[in-house]
Amino acid sequence: MSLPFYLTFVVASFVFTFGINGQLTNGPVFPMPPQNFLLSNTCPYSPTITCLPTPTVRPIDGSCNSAKSPYSGKSGTPYIRIAPTVYIENKYPRNISYFGYPLPSPRNISLTFFQSTSNESVDLSVITPTFARFVEHDLYKTKLLDVSENTCCNSTQNAGLCDNIYLSPTDPYFAIYKKSCLPKPNSVGSTKLDCKKEDPKQQINENTHTLDLSNIYGSTKDDSDRLRTKTDGLLKMNATNFLLPRYALPECQLPSPNSNNEYCFDAGDLRVNIDPLIMTMYTIWVRHHNAVATKLKVNLKDASDEDIFQTARKIVIAQYQHIVYTELLPVFDKNTSLMTPPAGTTSHSASVTPTIFNTFSLVYTSIIDSMVPSKIVIDSTDIKLDSVYYKPEKLFETDGIQKLLEAMQTTKAEMVDRFVVEELTNSYLQELPGQGTDKVALNLQQSRENGAPVYIIFYSVINKETGAKSPDVLLNKIYPEEIDIELLPGLFAETPVTDALYGKTTQKLMDKQFKELQEGDRFFYTHEGVFTPDQLDEIRNTTLAKILCTNGELTDIVPNALELQNPTENQMKKCSLLMDIDICLWSTVQWSDWDSICVGELNIFTRQCSILPGSTCKCKGKAIEIRTCSTAPVNNIINIDTVQKIYATFYKNFDVYGIPLNSNNSSFADILKKTYVITRP
C-alpha cells in the first residue's frame, strides 16, 4: 500500500514535530538501555575551557575553534542535527514501520538494494576513495561501547551493549558458514552540549570535527604526545623503513622469519590498520609532516621542538585543506561553489560552529564504501581486498609503498551508486572465509541507532521543498510504505545531478557540511591573518600528486592524482616537474637593520642577511643601497664614477648578502675611510 502524497506529508510532518513515542501498532521491541552519558547526572561538557582571544596555534583537541562555544568541534563531543531524529522514546532505534510491522533487516536491504556487484568508474582511480577515506578518518569516528565486535550479544551476555543484525537461515553467503547474526556494538549515547536530558540521544565523535589531520596528529594531548618524538618537531616513524611506528593490536599479524610478530601501525586514528591502501595514505602524510619539519629545522632561528612541530603542522594542515577543497570536492561535484578563491582571503564566521552533522557521518561513509574496488593489481597479481584486511605485509616488501601507489593509480574506483562489492558486503574485515561482516548492513544499523530521519523528511528539510517521491521501484518492494524508506537507500536511489556523483539531496548535504567546516574553522587556511599573502600563494601551489611523489618514492604520476591516466587531459608526468612550495617563506632568515654612513652628498646604506647554518634560504633584495643625503643641495649631481667605485669596493669585501668575505674585515665605513677620499663632484 502506498500513501497518497497529501497523507504522506501529514505523517511526515507529524514525525517531524513530535517524533515517535512508542504509540505504534503491536508496540516496539526495545533493547536494554545502553550505558551512556544519558544515565549520568554530571554534564561532561560543563568544565570551563579558557581560550585565548586570538589563538595562533590550533589546539590539538579541536577546542576553542569557536569563541562563543569552546566545546564545538572538540574531540569527544556530540555530532549536531540538521533534521529531526526518528527514535522511539527519544533514544531507541526504530525497528518497526510507522504502521506496526517490522522494518526489513539491514542485511536484507544490503542484499536486495545494495547488491554485491561491481560497477567501475570510467575516470576515477582508487586513490580517490582511499584519500576520501583518509578524510573520513580525520573528520569523525563514532564512539562505540567497549564490547567485542566479533561476538553477538544475548540476553545474559552484554545485554544492551549490542544491536545484533540477525541473519536468515537461507542467507546466500553466511548460511554456508552457519552464521546466525552479525555483531554490532552500540554507540555511546550523549546529550547535546547543553546537557538537556529531554533531548533525543546524540552520538559522540571521538575525533576533532575539523579538517585538521587529527588522524595523524591525534585528537587529544595524550595521543599527540604518544605520536611525537619531541625532538625537532618530528612524528614517530620506523627509522629503518620509514613506515609508521608499532602499535600492538591482536587483529594485526605480520609474519617474520622468526615468529608471528604483531605489528599494527600507530596513528591518530587506529582505523589506519584496516587495509594496506589506507595504511599507505597515512604513511604518506606522516612522512610529509616530517619532511616539512626537517626543512623548517634549518630555517627557523632558535626554534624549539614545539615551534617546529606547530609550524610544520600548520603548513601541512593547510596543504591538506587545499587538496580537499580544490581536488576532492570537485571530483565529487563539479558544480561545487566551495573551491577556495584563487586569490585573496576568506573570513571566519563566529556564528558558525565547525561540527560534523550526524547525517553527514552516515552518508559520507556510505559514499566512500560504494567506491571501493574488490581488488588491486600489483606486479600483475590480483590482490583481493578481503585477503589483506589487517595485514600490512605489502608495505614491508621492497618498494612496497611505491608499488601500492602505482597500483592505486591504475586501478579503477567503483561508481558512487547503490552497488557495493562483496568484499564489503560479505567478507568485510574477515580473517577466514565466513568470519567477516557486512559493512553496508552495519551502516544501515548505525543509521537507525543514530536516529537518522527517514528519506522523505530529510529530503524536505535539506531541499526546503515537499513532494519527495519514492525514488526507486525496488524500494517500494522493500518498504511497502513510502514514509518508511530510510535515509541511505533513499539517497542512493536518487538520480545523480549533472556533473556530480550523487543526487541533489546528497549534494546539498555535502555543500552545507563543507561550507560550515570552512567558515566555522577560525584556523582555515584561506582566512585572513592565518598566513601572509605570499605564504598563502605558496600553499595554493600544493597538489596531492606532488605530496604522493615526494613521500611515496614515485618517479612519475598523473597531475590530477585522483583521476585515471588520460592521454589528452591527465598524462603521466615526471615528479620532478611538479611544483613544490617554497619553505623559505616561513624561514626566520632576515636582513639586519640598515646601517648608514653619509659621505659628502652620498648616504650609503648596508645590511647583512642572517643566514642560518645549513639553510638554503636567503634574503631577497640588496645588501647595499646608495642614495643622496637629505641635506644635499637639490641641484647636486651624484658622481657616477664614485658610486660605481663604492659598489665595487663593497662587493670586493662583502658578498651579495652583506656577509664579510674575510672574517677580519671591519665595517664598511672603516673600509671606505682607509680606501678612498671621497670628494664632491
Which tens digits make up the pLDDT trace of 465-482?
877 766 678 898 999 888
Distance of alpha carbon 10 from the chain centroid: 40
Q: Give the pLDDT score at 262.
A: 54
- Specify the DSSP element, H or E, that contains 87: strand 87-88
**pLDDT, mean of residues 419-436:** 94
Q: Residue 139: which of 58, 197, 213, 203 has the closest Cα?
A: 213
Please tell me the least confidently modeled range out of 54-68, 201-215, 337-351, 494-508. Answer: 337-351
Could you tell me the three cell numbers for 55?
A: 589563538
- pLDDT at 27 exceeding the cut of 60: no
Could you tell me the three cell numbers for 506?
A: 546528497
Q: Give the pLDDT score at 23.
A: 35
Q: Residue 218: which of 80, 85, 76 has the closest Cα?
A: 76
Distance set, CA 215 to CA 35, 271, 549 (Å)? 27, 9, 21
Q: Give the pLDDT score at 470.
A: 63
Beta strand spans in 192-253 (E): 202-205, 246-247
Distance CA 270, CA 242 (A): 18
Q: Give the pLDDT score at 156.
A: 61
**pLDDT, mean of residues 444-467:** 93
**Percentage, residues of the chain above pLDDT 70:** 87
- pLDDT at 592 exceeding the cut of 50: yes
> How confident is residue 5, by pLDDT bands cut at 50, 70 and 90?
very low
- pLDDT at 680 exceeding the cut of 50: no
- pLDDT at 149 exceeding the cut of 80: no
**pLDDT, mean of residues 535-563:** 96
Q: What is the largest CA-CA distance in the chain?
A: 110
- Within 8 A by CB and 6+ apart from 4, the residues are none
**pLDDT, mean of residues 530-559:** 95
**Phi and psi, residue 55, nearest 5°:** -65, 140
Residue identified by cell 546524540 is 202
**Strands 254-255 and 246-247, sheet pairing:** unpaired
Q: Give the pLDDT score at 433.
A: 92
- pLDDT at 377 exceeding the cut of 50: yes
Residue identified by cell 597500483 is 407
- Within 8 A by CB and 6+ apart from 26, the residues are 96, 100, 101
- pLDDT at 6 exceeding the cut of 70: no
How crowded is residue 263: how many other Cβ atoms within 10 Å of its Cβ? Answer: 23
**pLDDT, mean of residues 531-554:** 95
Write out pLDDT tens, residues 34-82.
Answer: 455 566 667 889 888 988 888 889 999 999 988 788 999 999 999 999 9
Beta strand spans in 439-491 (E): none
**Phi and psi, residue 281, nearest 5°:** -65, -40
> How confident is residue 329, by pLDDT bands cut at 50, 70 and 90?
very high
Q: Give the pLDDT score at 289.
A: 98
Distance CA 102, CA 115 (A): 22
**Phi and psi, residue 345, nearest 5°:** -130, 170
> How confident is residue 159, by pLDDT bands cut at 50, 70 and 90?
low
- Specify the DSSP element, H or E, that contains 305: helix 305-323
Under 8 Å between Cβ of 224 and 60: yes
**pLDDT, mean of residues 347-353:** 91
**pLDDT, mean of residues 621-629:** 87
Q: Give the pLDDT score at 155.
A: 62
First to last CA, the chain: 106
> How confident is residue 636, by pLDDT bands cut at 50, 70 and 90?
very low
- pLDDT at 14 exceeding the cut of 50: no
> How confident is residue 18, by pLDDT bands cut at 50, 70 and 90?
very low
Torsion angle defined by CA atoms of residues 613, 618, 619 and 624, in that order, rounded to the nearest 10 degrees:
90
- Within 8 A by CB and 6+ apart from 257, the residues are none
- pLDDT at 133 exceeding the cut of 60: yes
Distance set, CA 406 to CA 403, 557, 564 (Å)? 5, 8, 11
Q: Give the pLDDT score at 616.
A: 84
**Phi and psi, residue 403, nearest 5°:** -65, -40
Beta strand spans in 588-640 (E): 595-599, 602-606, 624-628
- Within 8 A by CB and 6+ apart from 468, the residues are 455, 456, 459, 460, 490
Residue identified by cell 611544483 is 579
> How confident is residue 245, by pLDDT bands cut at 50, 70 and 90?
very high
Distance CA 568, CA 550 (A): 25
Q: Where are the domains of the chain?
A: 589-675
**pLDDT, mean of residues 335-347:** 80
Distance CA 316, CA 148 (A): 36
Under 8 Å between Cβ of 187 and 204: yes
Distance CA 366, CA 677 (A): 82
> How confident is residue 239, by pLDDT bands cut at 50, 70 and 90?
confident
Reduce the DSSP state of residue 264 to 3 states and report it. strand
Q: Give the pLDDT score at 21.
A: 40
**Phi and psi, residue 614, nearest 5°:** 85, -10
Helices 640-653, 668-675: crossing angle, 10 deg rounding = 120
| 673 φψ region: left (φ > 0), alpha (ψ -120 to 50), beta (else) | alpha
Under 8 Å between Cβ of 667 and 604: no
How crowded is residue 151: how many other Cβ atoms within 10 Å of its Cβ? Answer: 13
Reduce the DSSP state of residue 412 to 3 states and report it. strand
Q: Residue 121: which of 371, 491, 422, 493 has the closest Cα?
A: 371
> How confident is residue 681, by pLDDT bands cut at 50, 70 and 90?
very low
